Amino acid sequence: MNEQKTRNRQTVNWHSFNVDNTIEQLQIDRNDGLSSQEVENRLKKFGNNRLPRPRGRSAWVRFLLQFHNVLIYVMLIAAGITGMLGDWVDTGVLLAAIFINAVIGFVQEGKAEQALDAIRSMLSLHSTVIRNGSRIEIEAEKLVPGDLVMLVSGDKVPADLRLLTSKGLRVNEAILTGESQAVEKTLEPVSPDAPLGDRLCMLYSGTLVVSGQATAIVVETGIHTELGRISAMLAQVQTGTTPLIRQITKFGHWLALVIVLLSGATYATGVLWHHHAPKEMFMMVVALAASAIPEGLPAIMTITLALGVRRMAKRNAIIRQLPAVETLGSVTVICSDKTGTLTRNEMTVQRIITATHVFGVSGVGYAPEGKVDLGGVQVALNEYPELSDIARALVLCNDAQLRKHSDGTWQVIGDPTEGALLAFAAKLGLDAELERSVMPLTDAIPFESEHRLMATLHHQTEDKSIIYVKGAPERIRAMCHIPSDINETPHHSPNDWESKAKEAASSGLRLLAVAVKVVDSTQHEVNFSDLNSGFTLLALVGIIDPPRDEVIMAVAVCNAAGIKVKMITGDHVETARAIGASLGIGLHKHALTGAEIEAMDDDQLQEVVLDVDVFARASPEHKLRLVQALQNTGQIVAMTGDGVNDAPALKRADVGVAMGLKGTEAAKEASDMVLADDNFATIGNAVREGRGIYDNIRKFILFTLPTNGGEALVVIAAILFQLTLPMTPAQILWINMVTSSTLGLALAFESPEFDVMRRQPRDPREPLLSWFFAWRVLMVSILMMAGSLGLFLWEIDRGSSLETARTMAVSAIVGAEMFYLINSRYIYKSVLSLEGLFGNRYALIAIAACAVLQLAYTHASPLQALFNSTDLSYDEWLKVLLVGMTIFLFAELEKVTLYLFRLWRKTAH
Ligand code: ATP
C-alpha cells in the first residue's frame, strides 16, 4: 500500500542541493537526527525501505512444472493409449499416479523454498543511525527519509543518501554504473543533469563503501532509490542447486533414457519372442518405466539440502551459496581470524606499562568496576599524573561508547577494544563525556587493520591542538621519541619497554601503544604525513581477550577430522602464539609474521605454509597469498574474514566465511557462509553438518536406486524367463507411489553419524557413483528381485491362487523396502543397535504409514477391487515379513564383510 501510495512522487535532484538545503528540505536536526515520533510518521508516509521481492514462480506454474519430466510424459502417453483402448481402470490408475506424483513434488518443492527463504531473511542489512540524539543500530528496512546514517569502510549503502561529512570516502558503485574502480566522494553539489557516476555528493543504495567514513542524510528509500528505479532485484542468495545435484539430475536424465530404451526392448521381446498380448505388454513396460525411472531424485536431494541448510542456520552457520555445503565436507584447512572468532572479543584492560611503572587493572568486562594498582596497592588518579594523561588520551582517541542497560549490564557501542579503554578510564574516575566536550574532536584517521593505528586531532583552546594516536606498539614506537626520563632512569632503558611489552604479549595480552603530539593550532586536519615523528609515547596498554572455551574442543574435533586449523591475526606474534597455544593451535611450532611472509616469494611460502599454524601481524593481502599457497599444495581451504579488504581472500577460498556480527557487508557479500555468532566452533559444526548432508544425499540415492531396480528386475526376469507376471502394471505403480515417495524422504532428516568427524575429508574429485555404489545398487536390486519373485513362484508352485501370490509378491517388495530403509540409515556401519534401528523418528513414522497403506491394499475391498489384491492369512504375512528380514540381514552382512575386507586390505598394506 505504502509503496503504491508513494510511487508517483516527484523525483528530486538531491545531488544539486547543498547540505543546508537538504537539511531544510527534509526538516531534520543535524545533530540529533529524527525523533521517534517523526520516524513513525515518516514510516507511515514513505513505507519500509525495501525493494519489492523478486516475484517467484506462481503456485500454479510450480504445480504445472511438476508435469515436465520424462516419466510423466511416458505415463501420460500411456494413459492416452489405454483410454483409447477403453481400458478405464488402467487409465484411472495411471492418471491418479501422475497426479499424486505432481502433488508430492509440489509440496516437497514448496518446503525446500520455504526453508531457503527463511535463511535469506537472516541476512538482513543493518545500519547505524542517529535518532533522538544518540547513535543506534537499526534494521536498514526501517530507515526513513531524513535519517542520519553513519558509514564506515565495508558498509553497504542502505538507501540513497546525501553526504553531510566525509573523510577519505571511496565507494564502489559498480552495481549501478558498471564502473569497478571506486569513486572518491566529496560534499559539493553538482548540476541537476549530472549523470549518476558524477554525483559525487551522493551515495546510492546497494553500493559499497571501500574506505573512509561518512555521515549522510537519507533522501530516498525503497523503490524510490536509484536501485529501485532500475528495478535491480536484490542479489539472489541461493541458486537452489549444487554441482552434486546437477550431476545427479544429469545422471537421472540418462538413466531415464536408458530405461525407456530398455522398456522398448522388453516390449519387443515380450510381444515378438514370447508372444505376450501386446496390450498387456504395453501396460507392463509402462509400469516398468514408471518403477525404474528415479524421477523423485533431484526433488528429494534439493529437500535434503534445504533441510540441512536450515539445520545449519539454526546452529548459526548461514549458507549463502549452496555449493558450499558440499565443499565444506572436503575442507582440509580452516584459516581463522583470532579476535572474536577464536577469542570472545570481550576486552578488558589488565596492564598499563609506562616508562617507569607497570600498573595492574582489576575487574572484568565493560563495567567501570575495578581498581588500578601498583604492586598490589590501589592508586588514585592524582597520585600519578601520567595515569590521567594516559586515560584522557585513550578516551579521546576513541570512537566507542559504553551504555548501561536497565539490567545493570554494560554494552559497547563500537569497537570492543575501544570499549575496554573507556571502561579503564572510568575505573580511574575519568568522565569521558566531559573530556570529550573540553577537547572536542576536529578530525580523525579511523582505525583500519592495514595501518593498525588510529589518530585524532583535538582543539582545546584557541592556541592548543593535540594529536593523539594509538595502535600496534611497533607502529607507534616508530613515530615517537622515547621520553627523556627513561634514559635518565638507570633501570628503564628503551629495551626495558621492549622486554615488558614482550612479557605482556607472551602471556596472551593484546598490546596497544598510545602517544601524543602537540601541533600548531591552525591545523584542522590530520593526515598520515602528520604521523611520521614527533610523538611522545605515553604508555602501552595490555588488554586481555580470553579464548572461547568451546573453541578448544572444536579445534581438537577438526584435527581428528583431518582438518588443520591455522590462525591468521593482525595481532602481535607473541600474543598470537600465547592464545594459539591455549587453544591447541601451533603448539611448539614456528609462527610467521606478515613481514616474513612479504619477504618470501610464492614458492617459498608454499614450502612452509603447511608447517606453520600461527600467522601474526598479517594483513588482508597476506590472507590472499596464504589461501593461494595452501590451494597450490592441494588443500581445500575455508577462510574467515570480516573487513572490506578480506573480500578477495574470501572469494578465492574454497569456502569463504564471513562474520555475521562484526563483519562488514563487503565481507559478507564475498562469502559463501556467514557465522551469525562469529564463533570458530560454528565452522566445525558446519563442517559436521555439511558432511552429514552429503551423506544423506548418498543414503537417499543408495535407497532409491535399488528399490527402483528391484521392481524393474522382477518384471524383466518374468518376461525373459516367460513366467507368469508376478505383478500387474497397476500393482507396480502402487508400489512406486506408496514406497518411493513416503519412505525415502525420511533419510533427509538423518542427523550426521557420530563418526563423521572422525573421517578424513572427502576427496572432491571422488565420483559420487563409484564402483561401491554400483555394487550396492546391483546387490540390493537382485536381493529384492530374488525375494519377491522367489516367493511368488513358490506360492504358485504350492497351488496358491494367482491373486494371493501376486499380493504376496507386492507386499514382499514393499516390506523389503521398509526394512531396507533402516539399512540405509548408515552407509557402512551396521544399524544393529538401538540407535541404528530406532534413532530416526521420521523413518519409523514413514514405515508405519507405509505399513498402514499396505494393509489397506491387502484387506480393504475398494483397493482389492482396483488392484486385484486379496486378503492374506497370518502365515502368508509371516512369509512376506521373512523375505523383508532376510534382505535386511543380507544387507547388514554385506557391511560386515566390507568392513573386514577393508581391514584386511589395510593390514596387508
Ligand atoms: P584478527 O585479525 O584476528 O581479528 P586483531 O583483531 O587483533 O586480530 P586487528 O584488529 O587488525 O587484528 O588489530 C591489529 C592491531 O592493531 C592490534 O594488535 C592492536 O595493537 C591494534 N588495534 C586494534 N584495535 C585498535 C583500535 N581500535 N585503535 C588502534 N589500534 C588498534
pLDDT tens readout for residues 46-93:
999 887 766 666 788 888 888 877 777 877 887 888 788 777 877 887
DSSP code of residue 902: H
Is residue 493 over pLDDT 60? no
Band (295; pLDDT cuts 50, 70, 90): low
Average of per-residue pLDDT across 210-214: 87
What is the C-alpha to C-alpha distance for residues 614 and 605, in angstroms, rounded to an integer? 14
Please give the distance, rounded to the nearest whole angstrom, from the Cα atom of residue 184 to the centre of ligand 1. Answer: 26
Pocket of ligand 1 contains residue 131 by CB under 6 Å: no
pLDDT tens-digit series, residues 700-709: 889 988 888 8
Measuring CA to CA, which residue among 237, 167, 25 is closest to residue 454? 167
Name the pLDDT band for 232 (thresholds 50, 70, 90). Answer: very low
Q: Which of 264-273, 351-360, 479-488, 802-811 has the lowest mean pLDDT?
A: 479-488
Amino acid identity, residue 399? D
pLDDT digits (tens, 9 = 90+) for 712-726: 888 888 877 877 888
**HSE (side-chain half, CA atoms, 13 Å) at 263:** 24
User: For ligand 1, what atom is nearest to the CA of residue 470?
Assistant: 29
pLDDT band at 38 (very low <50, low <70, confident <90, very high): very high
Instruction: Render pLDDT for 142-199 as a digit per residue (tens, 0 to 9).
Output: 999 999 999 988 888 999 999 999 888 999 887 777 777 888 999 999 988 888 888 9
**If you measure from the C-alpha of residue 449 to the centroid of ligand 1, how many angstroms do you get, rounded to a whole number?**
6
CA of 417 from ligand 1 middle (Å) equals: 8
pLDDT of residue 467: 95
DSSP string, 733-759: HHHIIIIIHHHGGGGGGPPPPTTGGGS
d(CA 263, CA 279): 14
Pick the residue whose CA is nearest to atom 9 on ligand 1: 570
Identity at 92, one-letter amino acid code = G
Is the per-residue pLDDT at 237 higher than 70?
Answer: no
Q: What is the model's pTM?
A: 0.81
Picking from 814, 784, 779, the residue whose alpha carbon sits closest to that of residue 895 is 779
pLDDT band at 7 (very low <50, low <70, confident <90, very high): very low
Which residue's CA is minimally distant from atom 7 of ligand 1? 571
Supply the mean pLDDT for the chain. 86
Give SS3 for 193. Answer: coil
How far, in Å, is the centroid of ligand 1 from the Cα of 445? 15
At 607-646, the pLDDT tens digits run 999 999 999 999 888 999 999 999 999 999 999 999 888 8
Closest CA to 553 of 419, 427, 433, 683: 683
Q: 117 an active-site residue?
A: no
Give Cα 69 distance to the centre of its chain: 32
Asked whether the predicted pLDDT for residue 397 surpasses 90, the reply is yes
**pLDDT tens digits, 804-847:** 999 999 999 999 999 999 999 999 889 999 888 998 999 999 99
Q: Give residue-wise pLDDT tens across range 431-456.
A: 999 999 889 998 899 888 778 999 99
Long-range contacts of 100-103, Cβ-Cβ distance < 8 Å, separation of 24 or more:
100/737, 100/741, 101/66, 101/71, 101/72, 101/295, 101/737, 101/741, 102/63, 102/66, 102/67, 102/72, 103/66
Instruction: Check pLDDT > 90 for residue 664.
Output: no
Q: Are 452 and 339 in contact (CB under 8 A)?
A: no
Residue 881 has pLDDT above 90, yes or no: yes
Q: Is 421 touching ligand 1 by the criterion CB < 6 Å? A: no
Distance in angstroms between the alpha carbons of the first and the last residue of the chain: 72
Identify the sign of the CA torsion 494, 496, 497, 503: positive
Specify the pLDDT at position 495: 58
In terms of C-beta density within 10 A (0-12 exposed, 13-18 middle, 19 or more buried), how is residue 24 classed?
exposed
Q: Are 189 and 17 in contact (CB under 8 A)?
A: yes
The finding on whether 109 has its CB within 6 A of some atom of ligand 1 is no
Mean per-residue pLDDT, 515-537: 90
**Tens-place pLDDT, residues 756-792:** 999 999 887 777 778 888 899 999 999 999 999 999 9
Q: Whose CA is nearest to atom 6 of ligand 1?
A: 339
* pLDDT band (50, 70, 90) for residue 589: confident
Q: State whether residue 163 is helix, strand or coil.
A: strand
> pLDDT value at position 420?
95
Residue 755: predicted pLDDT: 87
Q: Cβ distance 150 to 130 under 8 Å? A: yes
The rounded percent of the chain whose pLDDT value lies above 70 is 94
The answer to whether residues 207 and 171 touch, using CB atoms and an 8 Å cutoff, is yes
Least confident of 47-51, 801-805, 849-853: 47-51
Q: Which member of 147, 155, 160, 337 is catalytic?
A: 337
- Pocket test of ligand 1: the residue of 342, 347, 448, 449 to mutate, having most ligand atoms within 8 Å of its CB, is 449
| 282 CA distance to ligand 1 middle (Å) | 74
C-alpha distance from residue 591 to each of 114, 360, 509, 556, 611 (Å)? 46, 29, 17, 20, 9
What was the pLDDT predicted at 279?
Answer: 79
Q: Position of cell 514413514?
A: 846
